Amino acid sequence: MRVLAIDYGDARTGIAVSDPTGSIVGRTEVIHSRNAQKTAEAIRALAAETGAQALVMGFPRNMDGSEGPRAALYREFAALVEQVCAMPVTLWDERRTTVEAHQILSDCNYHGKKRKNTVDAVAASLILEGYLAFLKK
């Protein structure tokens, strides 16, 4: 089963898509848009293009597990994606994914604009890896 992961953001949304077996991350990209409707439509197009059968979206939680301050916004966007894609969206705890993504990019010597344009895709990959590991259990 191919899974598409979403790291939603105000200006950039990271996307990661698994391989056909749902074992590893196979593709990443970034959608550059501040418009939620356009972002959801781009996700629909990517889901159709890649044959994704499941959608998982990072969901902001505080370190104590409670919902973060942007939780309502993310729930709204997940509902929009479900409507546009006609597929359910699984909300997945994204605690520390952006921090880890920045660390990975620093370790690989990605800085400045190069990092800014890549960090969301890396964060989406981390969301996808966590979700795929959960499915294997």
Q: List per-block mean pLDDT (blocks of 10 residues) for the chain, which spans 137 residues.
A: 95 95 90 97 97 95 84 96 98 79 73 72 90 91
Query: How many whole angstroms separate alpha carbon 5 and alpha carbon 81?
Result: 12
pLDDT, mean over the chain: 89
Alpha-carbon 56 to chain mean position: 7
Q: Residue 67 pairs with which residues in a beta bridge? A: 61
| Nearby residues of 51 by Cβ (< 8 Å), 6 or more positions away | 2, 20
Question: pLDDT tens digits, residue range 59-87?
Answer: 988 888 888 888 999 999 999 999 999 99
pLDDT at 82: 98
